[in-house]
Structure 1
């Protein structure tokens, strides 16, 4: 078996593609099992984090209208930025160290969820401590992060393979 040479450009493009599509999957999942109550989502974690660093609420809560609905534009920019950043990191890492995947990108997704929703965001005061978050939030976010990374991995794998396939 001939080992393919690592193609950094293809890994980044594959990660961006995987990050965008998996970000859509995560948004869809959150419509099925919303992670937060409507009250806790009035200012969602991305909006809260931006406000903590000084971005005014008038900007963090800015919306755009599509099909007669007000949608949180800034939250979507943060959501897809996060999704794409971590999907690109995974795409590069997993291709350089395929044995480290351990057979599943689910562990990476759970690791990102734990790092952010259980450690970093609570430490910053952006969200409550993990023990104070409702179980419904843990279920939605945990499963959502697994689905997010499975999708990012599958899509980025297909894109990378297509871009690096010998012609």
Structure 2
């Protein structure tokens, strides 16, 4: 058995690319099946988390205008930061541990969803406890996290192969 050499630079670039594109997929998915009611989304989880850390609402709710619509710029920075961070971590980890890719990364996506949406964020008081969240939120977030990591895996794998061939 030969030890596989990992090109860390290529894995990092692949992970960033996969993270950005999969972040777009997750945003698109949430437009089809929104995870939260409009009332609960007035201050979305990224905004709430930042406010819990002391960032004022005037910053967490800062928007930019595109095509006549107000868009939540700070929320997008948090969204893509989260997506890219975990896609890079997965890209590096899965290259070192190829068996981690079992299930086309669906298990990793579900694990991140469970860890954050059922444990960490409720424990911090950022979102309600899992049992107090509506079923629609679980369906949207669960499927959304699978689609997010499938996309991150597929894109980062394709980019890594192109960079290293």
Q: TM exceeds 0.5? A: yes
SS of the residue corresponding to residue 105 of structure 1 reads helix
Q: Structure 1: any 5+ residue segments left out of the alignment?
A: none
Aligned match of 2:83:
83
Deviations 1:69-121 (A, max 9, x none): 00000000000000000000000000010022224200000000000000000
Find runs of 4+ consecutive structure 1 residues off by over 3 angstroms.
Answer: 1-4
SS of the residue corresponding to residue 102 of structure 1 reads helix
Deviations 1:25-72 (A, max 9, x none): 000000000000000000000000000010000000000000000000
Per the TM alignment, residue 5 of structure 1 is displaced from its structure 2 partner at its CA by 1.9
Q: TM-score, normalised by structure 1?
A: 0.96
Note if 1:47 corresponds to 2:43.
no
Give me the whole-angstrom Cα distance separating, in 1, the residues matched to 2:85 and 2:113: 14
Q: How well do the aligned residues superpose, as a CA RMSD in angstroms?
A: 1.2
Aligned match of 1:100:
100
Q: TM-score, normalised by structure 2?
A: 0.97
SS of the residue corresponding to residue 104 of structure 1 reads helix
Give me the whole-angstrom Cα distance separating, in 2, the residues matched to 1:14 and 1:137: 30
SS of the residue corresponding to residue 40 of structure 1 reads coil
Give me the whole-angstrom Cα distance separating, in 2, the residues matched to 1:26 and 1:84: 12
Give me the whole-angstrom Cα distance separating, in 2, the residues matched to 1:68 and 1:20: 24
Q: State how many pairs are aligned.
A: 165
Q: Structure 2: any 5+ residue segments left out of the alignment?
A: none
